[in-house]
């Protein structure tokens, strides 16, 4: 919805765009937008370069490649962890003598620089693919470099997410998880997208990075780069070109509100001492170490697939062991729940062998991939067991997308064979309905409310239009959460929530009232969740949970919880 509202100054009209709030926080800065991918085929058409102009054309190419490498190096210097290493390696590849030489040779034979860039890159991507293994991993990087050099030569904006000189707000139609994962929160201080739902993986990574984010913003496409905007990740609004004093006051007051929860130090419990562990959701060693900076008691969800989004080939057991060890080492002696690869749908992994499917969200994703590719799961379990031995840790291991007790039984058998503790995610309504029978095979459950909402409401979690249906406050979704929690309580096995519902402080209290034993959220949400829970009693949480289960809509459920919990 696009609306015009009177600004603080009577002489100014400010456009307020409405979207769906995802990561709280208020930021004011100019807009930047990702550059479009250049149409390399069209751009590489062109006549032969006259002999006299070839040295100049070669110089133009060398300058473009150097500019691209310089920008990548600069990004690497400002990023941390794996993102920094990837960017530094890509910068080096952009200056690799072999492919630069191949392009220069073509230019000296008369090819225009753009075509020479495209053909030299193709020559090396073919070679890397044939070599396989680690070299094959570089194919994507070289294609990325090719696109950047072609854009530079053609006077187009750099493709992908640009690196701004001043802190900026990234506005885009949508962002691939791989783009979002490499963002530097010091430079990209807020995100707003036209598409996407509140539980899309872009939103999840934004939450992980603690970058305020609003998705499904109608009218955002019309906001030009450079326009100052005020993004409110709590209300879900984007104010276009607001009064600067008003905008700065909003930023300051949000920062003061965040500071109010800053003193909560854990462990998670209601005011009257009922324990509910507050854990962190992480995606790699860097985010696990970041989680140690907030009072998280451990890790409730390690999304392992997010480590490998850029890989063309399966990571070796040794490579996986390194990464898992880093995560375990961040929380020595604490609970760490590792989820096996949840590839597919909006998180395809190139090495998982996904077939073309009409409905990938309903297709071969999550644990279903293991049926056609059993080594993928066994290699991962081997790596987790090796990391556990190396860190002297006892991680819990859970499978995504379990639909039947039989799948749970098979998974548990394979996990136990590696000496690890098995559990499963409850993300499919059938699994919630049969939670008691699933619990006969596994030691714990973890409810993924993002997919549980998607599948319960038959509404794509990526759809902006259906965002009210995928709202985890939907009482239909919460009724299934209650079933799973009750099944766990009946046999004394833990049932946690690791979907985005656990990051909403009010809903977290309702979940505690429904009987869940842990809440796992992005680090950025941990303090607010813990502080809110510590201000209410278990009886209030239970009363709110009962009230919510009697409602007929998400709006009514929120209102009912607010009436009890304040
Ligand atoms: C979920 O579905 O709630 C969940 C935690 O898994 P993901 O968001 O990674 O699909
Ligand atoms: Mg899921």
Which residue has its alpha carbon closest to ligand 1 atom 4?
Answer: 448
Q: Give residue 443's pLDDT.
A: 98
Residues 127 and 99: their CA atoms lie apart, in Å, by: 11
What local confidence, expressed as pLDDT, does residue 137 receive? 60
- CA–CA separation, 180 vs 95, rounded Å? 25
Sheet hosting strand 168-172, strand order edge to edge = 2-6, 13-18, 237-240, 228-232, 26-32, 168-172, 188-193, 213-215, 20-23
Closest alpha carbon to 112 in 186, 24, 179, 42: 42
Beta bridge partners of 239: 16, 230
For ligand 1, atom 9, which residue shows the shortest CA distance?
303
List 377's β-bridge partners, or say none: none
Residue nearest to atom 8 of ligand 1 (CA): 450
Atom of ligand 1 nearest to the CA of 451: 2
Candidate list 171, 213, 307, 498, residue with the active-site label: 498
Does 498 qualify as catalytic in the annotation? Answer: yes
pLDDT given at position 126:
86
Question: What CA–CA distance (Å, rounded) separates 407 from 400?
Answer: 11
How far does residue 130's CA lie from ligand 2's centre (Å)? 35
Q: Cα separation of 496 and 278, whole Å?
A: 10
Instruction: Starting from the CA of residue 497, give the closest ligand.
Output: 1
Distances 435 to 53, 455, 496 between C-alpha atoms, Å: 72, 16, 13
What is the domain partition of the chain in residue ranges?
15-33+166-248, 40-154, 274-565
Angle CA(236)–CA(240)–CA(246) in degrees, nearest 5?
85
Whole-number pLDDT of residue 84: 66
DSSP state string for 281-301: EESSHHHHHHHTTTT--EEEE
Is residue 303 within 6 Å of ligand 1 at its C-beta? yes
Give ion ligand 2 contacts, CB < 5 A.
Answer: 427, 448, 451
Nearest CA to ligand 1 atom 6: 448
**In whole angstroms, what is the distance from residue 315 CA to residue 351 CA?**
9
Distance (angstroms) between ligand 1 centre and the Cα of 342 equals 9
- For domain 40-154, the CATH class is mainly alpha
Tokens of 222: 């019309």
Inter-axis angle of helices 113-131 and 54-78, to 10 degrees?
Answer: 60
> What is the rounded (10 degree) CA torsion for 448, 449, 454, 458?
110
Q: Is 456 in the pocket of ligand 1 (CB under 6 A)?
A: no
Smallest Cα–Cα separation from 87: which of 19, 178, 216, 208?
Answer: 178
Q: How many CB atoms lie within 10 A of CB 416?
A: 15
Instruction: Give me the CATH code for the 274-565 domain, please.
Output: 3.20.20.60
Residues forming beta bridges with residue 231, ordered by sequence position: 27, 238
Strand partners, 168: 188
With a 6 Å cutoff on the Cβ, whether 342 touches ligand 1 is: yes
- Residue 422 CA, chain-centre distance (Å), reads 24
Predicted confidence (pLDDT) per residue in 236-269, tens digit: 789 999 999 999 999 998 888 788 788 899 999 9
Q: Yes or no: say if 220 and 194 are a contact pair by the CB < 8 Å rule.
A: yes
**Does 461 appear as a known binding residue?**
yes
Q: How far is CA 45 from the centre of its chain?
A: 38
For the chain, 566 residues long, give each residue's pLDDT as a single digit of tens.
Answer: 333 333 333 345 678 888 877 788 899 999 999 877 667 777 777 789 999 999 999 999 999 999 999 988 887 776 665 556 667 778 888 999 999 999 999 999 999 999 999 999 999 988 887 776 666 667 767 888 898 899 899 888 777 777 788 999 999 987 765 566 668 888 899 999 988 766 666 677 677 778 999 988 889 999 999 999 999 987 778 999 999 999 999 999 888 878 878 889 999 999 999 999 999 999 888 889 989 989 999 999 999 998 888 788 999 999 999 999 999 999 999 999 999 999 988 788 889 887 888 898 999 999 999 988 889 999 999 999 999 999 989 999 999 999 999 999 999 999 999 999 999 999 999 999 999 999 999 999 999 999 999 999 999 987 777 888 999 999 999 999 999 999 999 999 999 999 989 998 999 999 999 999 999 998 888 998 999 999 999 999 999 999 999 999 999 999 999 999 98
Q: Does any ligand 1 atom lie closer than 6 A to the CB of residue 198? A: no
Measure the CA–CA gap between 548 and 478, rounded to whole angstroms. 8
Assigned fold of 15-33+166-248: Glucose Oxidase; domain 1 (3.50.30)
| CB-CB contact of 552 with 281 (8 Å) | no
pLDDT score recorded for residue 12: 57
Tokens for 535, please give them.
């201000």
Euclidean distance between CA atoms 100 and 17, whole angstroms: 46
């Amino acid at each position: 919805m696009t609306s015009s509202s009177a600004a603080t100054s009577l002489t100014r009209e400010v456009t307020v765009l409405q979207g769906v709030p995802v990561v709280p926080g208020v930021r004011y800065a100019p807009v930047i937008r990702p550059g479009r991918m250049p149409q390399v085929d069209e751009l590489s058409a062109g006549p032969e370069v006259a002999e006299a102009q070839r040295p100049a054309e070669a110089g133009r190419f060398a300058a473009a490649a150097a500019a691209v490498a310089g920008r990548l190096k600069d990004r690497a210097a400002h990023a941390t962890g794996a993102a920094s290493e990837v960017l530094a390696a890509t910068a080096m590849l952009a200056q690799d003598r072999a492919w630069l030489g191949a392009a220069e040779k073509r230019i000296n034979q008369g090819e225009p620089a753009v075509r020479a860039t495209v053909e030299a890159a193709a020559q090396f991507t073919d070679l890397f693919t044939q070599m396989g293994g680690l070299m094959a991993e570089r194919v994507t990087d070289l294609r990325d470099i090719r696109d950047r050099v072609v854009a530079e030569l053609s006077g187009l904006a750099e493709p992908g997410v640009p690196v701004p000189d001043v802190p900026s707000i990234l506005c885009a139609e949508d962002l691939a998880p791989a783009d979002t994962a490499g963002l530097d929160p010091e430079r990209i201080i807020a995100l707003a997208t036209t598409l996407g739902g509140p539980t899309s993986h872009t939103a999840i990574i934004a939450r992980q990075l603690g970058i305020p984010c609003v998705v499904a913003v109608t009218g955002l496409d019309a906001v030009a780069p450079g326009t100052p905007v005020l993004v409110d990740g709590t209300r879900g609004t984007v104010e276009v070109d607001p009064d600067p004093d008003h905008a700065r006051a909003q930023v300051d007051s949000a920062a003061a509100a965040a500071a109010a929860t800053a003193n909560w130090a854990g462990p998670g419990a209601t005011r009257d001492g009922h324990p509910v562990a507050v854990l962190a959701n992480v995606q790699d060693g860097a985010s696990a170490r970041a989680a140690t900076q907030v009072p998280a008691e451990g890790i409730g969800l390690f999304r392992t697939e997010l480590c490998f989004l850029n890989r063309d080939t399966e990571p070796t057991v040794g490579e996986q062991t390194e990464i898992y060890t880093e995560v375990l080492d961040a929380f020595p002696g604490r609970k760490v729940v590792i989820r096996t690869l949840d590839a597919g749908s909006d998180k395809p992994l190139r090495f998982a062998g996904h077939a073309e499917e009409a409905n990938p969200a309903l297709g071969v994703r999550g644990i279903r991939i293991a049926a056609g590719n059993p080594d993928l799961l066994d290699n991962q379990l081997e790596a987790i067991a090796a990391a556990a031995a190396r860190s002297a840790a006892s991680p819990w291991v859970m499978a995504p997308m379990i639909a039947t007790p039989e799948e749970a039984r098979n998974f548990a058998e394979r996990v136990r064979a590696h000496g690890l503790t098995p559990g499963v995610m409850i993300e499919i309504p059938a699994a919630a309905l049969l939670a008691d029978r699933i619990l006969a095979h596994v030691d714990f459950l973890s409810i993924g409310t993002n997919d549980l909402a998607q599948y319960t409401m038959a509404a794509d979690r990526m759809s902006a239009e259906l965002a009210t249906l995928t709202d985890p406050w939907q009482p239909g979704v919460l009724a299934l959460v209650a079933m799973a929690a009750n099944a766990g309580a009946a046999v004394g096995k833990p049932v946690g929530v690791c979907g985005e519902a656990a990051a909403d402080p009010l809903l977290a209290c309702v979940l505690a009232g429904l009987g869940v034993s842990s809440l796992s959220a992005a680090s950025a949400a941990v303090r607010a969740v813990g502080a809110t829970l510590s201000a209410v009693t278990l009886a209030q949480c239970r009363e709110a949970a009962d009230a919510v289960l009697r409602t007929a809509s998400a709006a009514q459920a929120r209102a009912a919880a607010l009436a009890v919990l304040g």
